[in-house]
Structure 1
Amino acid sequence: MALVAPSNVLALLRFPCGQLVIDRIDPLVNPGVAPSPHLHQLVGGNSLNITMAPEKDMPAESTCTSCQFSEDFSNYWTATLYFKAKNGTYKRVPQIQNSGFEGVKGGMTVYYMQDGLYNFQQTSKVTAFKPGFRMFVGDVNARTKEVAERYRQLTFTCLQNINTRDPQTLDFPDVPCPAGMMTAVRFPTCWDGVNLDSPNHMDHMSYPEHGSFESGGPCPASHPVRMPQLFYEVIWDTRPFNNKADWPDDGSQPFVWSFGDGTGYANHGDYLFGWQGDALQRAMDSPCYQNCPTLKSQNAAAMNACTIKRKVNEDIDGWVKVLPGGHVANYIRKRWE
């Protein structure tokens, strides 16, 4: 979907982040643990480490970021995706960039919006995240639609071309996708105004009282502060695995998250805020559309140059007999209609 800016748009940031590292670390859910239970793809500032204490000054400790805006030293991550072959071995599916961001290696597209993606008015006043803020959305143990529906708009799109955005599903597409598979991770937008984190990394945030992720409804009294809509798009290059002859004979789909979920319902994402100074608030208060005159940008070469070494030495590129961490695929079989 090509986005066209209306004349009265206020703030909608859409930008690429290149691949910082693919590693079995998770400084939000499993701080200090290496290896963490499953493999992630992480982008953003290079101060990323396995601990990431809340008092960490990410802008001061980073020397580069893999994201377009050079004042953004936040870290963004998701699990990685694998293809399971008929012989039971697995191969990691690489990421590719969105339309318009060619030349940036791997990674994802990140959005910050005053309102949702399909609300082009973008008129809500929002309060930017604070230093030390972090959050998580999704359920790594979800294996049914009913559980997945507790989280609004964690979806998949089977890309017919790079600009396809609909239809969206909560589970993995069950047919080969001509241009790859896109996952979308949309975070809640209402903050309790007090806590920068919570034990499950979710309770300090809430969805609006009514309406969908677009924040069309008011925030609940328990979480009264409206914050930017944070949204990831990750495009997985599933095209090398589109030969149906390589797919399971029973008609089920062959993709699996790095922690073993073959349904797709356990789609999830992590976020550590790390913008420099008041850069994000300035952007949210300014007439920004994708590119923002109040922010400093860097080119694809600079984004690609910002990487860190993996903490866990294991094979993440070849065919493997088990997923990193010893996981095996857990599928609910679904036949093609």
Structure 2
Amino acid sequence: MYRTRGAIALALMVSGADALLRFSCSQLVVERLDPLVNPGAAPSPHLHQIVGGNAFNISMDPKTPPPSLATCTTCTFADDFSNYWTAVLYFKARNGSYHRVAQKPNVGFEQATGGMTIYYTPYIGSTKSSVTAFQPGFRMLIGQQGGRTLEEAQKYRQLTYTCLKDPMTRTGETKDMPTQPCPAGIMANVRFPTCWDGKNLDSPDHTSHIAYPSSGTFESNGPCPSTHPVKIPQLFYEVIWDTTPFNDKSLWPEETGQQPFVWSQGDSTGYGSHGDYVFGWKDNALQKAMDTNCNINCPQLKSQSIAVGNKCVKQTQVKETIDGWVDHLPGAEHMERKK
């Protein structure tokens, strides 16, 4: 799997890490399914964009891990049949209609069909420590889809936005949605907690079995709390939304300081950002990568080209109009009206 020098430099700059996996996962499907929070519901309350293995479905039984069902993956590490998903971004026009915002490939992955960039980091800087890779059946969620205040968002330390001045911008992260047009789009940054209770592969809220370090962050080698003593890799999504077609301020709300972008669950503040994960690496591939401290490329793992990943797609199971101009967000009738 080829990486340009620019992409390698970018990844190292972003994380400060001497070891990490950084790879592309192209778009698998965009639809209203959420087998983690709303298993069996078709449709789920709001729209998601999903990448990874094609075993993604209405209900994903944790007793049947994705590698046993998937036949392809959109990710460039071919043994990664995990599923990664977030809400979908929409532009809201002054007349109240909505238009879905497309995803844009990241630096070094320009051939990808939308999707997102995935990072797994075993340690930061020169401080090497052992991490335990996720286990078959593991799943988790970070963020609060109904969050609409900064206080609610502060519970999740590293869910942020970057207003891209250019494709290489990696500074100026904010907790709320950018309030000025971003020349190269908006990047949503989704970093998961890095401590695990060592027992439960999931929890009723899909969050309680994981935790942030008891002090500091993963990047500062913060210690895990006694309740969650097992250090797990830093899982991190970068999703670039191509907001540039909507950068004309005459299209934006007339009120000063207001911005026009809305998450698919009806959140215009940005405080409701969230991400979902279902582990699906084949055999011990991820643990092998973490133990050998792979740095961007990982010859110990099987890889495939981005072009091959682009071909792995899934037919939508929920038939509805999500593109073009629509009068309301998909699933608007189910949304919590939270101001």
Shorter-chain TM-score above 0.5: yes
Change (3 A) 1:65 1:207: same
2:173 counterpart SS class = coil
Report Cα offsets for 1:191-249 as digits up to 9, x if no partner.
00000000000000011110034262111111110000000000000000000000011
Deviation of the 1:303 alpha carbon: 0.6
CA distance in 1, matches of 2:17, 2:288: 15
SS at match of 1:100: coil
Q: Which position in structure 2 is the counterpart of 1:335? A: none
1:228 is the counterpart of 2:237: no
**Number of aligned residue pairs:** 327
Percentage of pairs with the same residue: 59
User: Which SS does the other structure have where 1:32 is aligned?
Assistant: coil
Partner of residue 6, structure 2: none
Within-5 A mapping of 1:250-289: 250-251=255-256, 252-289=258-295
Structure 1 segments unaligned to the other structure (5+ residues): 333-337
C-alpha distance after superposition, 1:24-48 (max 9, x if no partner): 0000000010100000000000011
Cα displacement string for residues 104-133 of structure 1 (whole angstroms, at most 9, x for unaligned residues):
101000000013xxx333622100000000
1:304 paired with 2:337, answer no
User: 1:172 matched to which residue of 2?
Assistant: 177
Are positions 1:92 and 2:100 aligned together? yes
User: Contact 1:261–1:329 (CA<8 Å) still a contact in 2?
Assistant: no
Deviation at 1:321, TM superposition (A): 0.6
Task: Supply the AA of the counterpart residue of 1:81.
Answer: L
The runs of at least 4 aligned residues of structure 1 exceeding 6 Å deviation read 328-332
Conservation of the 8 A alpha-carbon contact between 2:111 and 2:306: yes
- The 8 Å contact of residues 17 and 121 in structure 2, kept in 1 or not, is answered as no
Distance change >3 Å, CA 4–CA 260, structure 1 → 2: closer
Aligned twin of 2:5 = none
Contact 1:10 1:286 in 2 (8 A): no
* From 291, 311, 325, the counterpart of 1:319: 325
Opposite residue 108 of structure 1, the aligned amino acid is: M
Q: Secondary structure at the match of 1:2?
A: helix
Q: Does 1:183 align with 2:222?
A: no
What letter matches 1:20 in structure 2? Answer: L
1:1-337 correspondence to structure 2 within 5 Å: 2-4=10-12, 11-115=19-123, 119-121=124-126, 123-214=128-219, 216-251=221-256, 252-326=258-332
User: Which SS does the other structure have where 2:214 is aligned?
Assistant: coil
Structure 2: give runs of 5+ residues left out of the alignment: 1-8
Residues 11 and 285 of structure 1 are in contact (CA less than 8 Å); yes or no, is this contact kept in structure 2?
A: no
Normalization by structure 2: what TM-score? 0.93
Q: Distance in 2 between matches of 1:3 and 1:122?
A: 18
Contact residue 153 and residue 213 of structure 1 kept, 8 A: no
Question: 1:256–1:329: 8 Å Cα contact kept in structure 2?
Answer: no
Post-superposition CA distance 1:272-305 (Å, at most 9, x none): 0000000000000113111101111111111100
**Distance across 2 between alignment mates of 1:204 and 1:331:** 27
Q: How far apart, CA to CA, are the structure 1 residues paired with 2:242 and 2:125? A: 29
CA offset digits 1:43-77 (Å, max 9, x no partner): 00001111001101311211100001000000000
Q: CA RMSD in A?
A: 1.7
- Residue identity in the other structure for 1:120: G
Q: Distance in 2 between matches of 1:291 and 1:302?
A: 17
What is the CA–CA distance in structure 2 between the aligned matches of 1:146 and 1:212, rounded to whole Å? 19
Contact 1:128 1:281 in 2 (8 A): yes
Aligned letter for 2:281? W
Q: Distance in 2 between matches of 1:190 and 1:271?
A: 15
**Cα distance 1:242–1:287, how it changes in 2: closer, same or farther (>3 A)?**
same
d(CA) in 2 for partners of 1:145 and 1:3?
A: 28
Cα distance change on mapping 1:100 and 1:83 into 2, 3 Å: same
